[in-house]
Amino acid sequence: MAELAQEIGFMQRALALSQQALPACRPNPPVGCVLVKEGKIVSEGFTQPPGLHHAEAMALANYDLPLNEVTAYVTLEPCSFVGRTPSCAHTLVAKGIKRVVVAVLDPDPRNSGKGIDVLKQAGIEVSIGLCEQEVFNFISPYLLKNK
């Protein structure tokens, strides 16, 4: 497991990526994701326009090696439902990710903890709350819309 300062740096990078998603990602939330292996970022992604890749899917599409030693740092809980795109939580499970670090839980009732449950039930290590306030401050207009 990475040191806390290093983990914060990875989540801050994911937050910076999420800001690149705007305005094209709307009405979807602006989410960022970095994939980390052995303390180094190996892939990145952010939410694309509706119907295209979510942040996690973009990061996974840019990395074609095994994920059994990879941690994903994601600003918002991975989605657990199929809409215009496949479920990010189920995709992370299918790809064999080792660990997922989430800044903020998704209050959308279609998700709201279900993405975390999918990951945990598959035996994936999940951490929640890293840089939570900083990420919430950025993404809160979307989150509050769904409360």
Encode pLDDT of 26-66 as tens digits. 988 999 999 999 999 999 999 999 999 999 999 999 999 99
**Domains contained in the chain, number:** 1
CA 21 to mean position of chain CA atoms: 13
Is it the case that residue 110 has pLDDT exceeding 80?
Answer: yes
Which among 56, 69, 125, 134 is annotated as catalytic? 56
pLDDT score, position 81: 85
CATH code of the domain covering residue 41: 3.40.140.10
pTM, rounded to two decimals: 0.94
Is it the case that residue 147 has pLDDT exceeding 70?
Answer: no
Task: Give CA–CA dist 113/52, Å, rounded.
Answer: 23
pLDDT score, position 133: 97
Q: For this structure, is 56 an active site residue?
A: yes
Average pLDDT, the chain: 93
pLDDT digits (tens, 9 = 90+) for 66-89: 999 999 999 999 999 887 888 999
Q: Name the packing angle between helices 88-95 and 114-121 (round to 10°).
A: 10
pLDDT score, position 145: 56
Query: By residue range, what is the domain housing residue 72?
Result: 4-145
Give the confidence band of 144 by pLDDT, cuts at 50, 70, 90.
Answer: low
> What contacts 24+ positions apart, CB below 8 Å, involve 43-50?
44/13, 44/14, 44/17, 45/17, 46/17, 46/18, 46/20, 46/21, 47/18, 47/21, 48/21, 48/24, 49/24, 49/25, 50/25, 50/26, 50/84
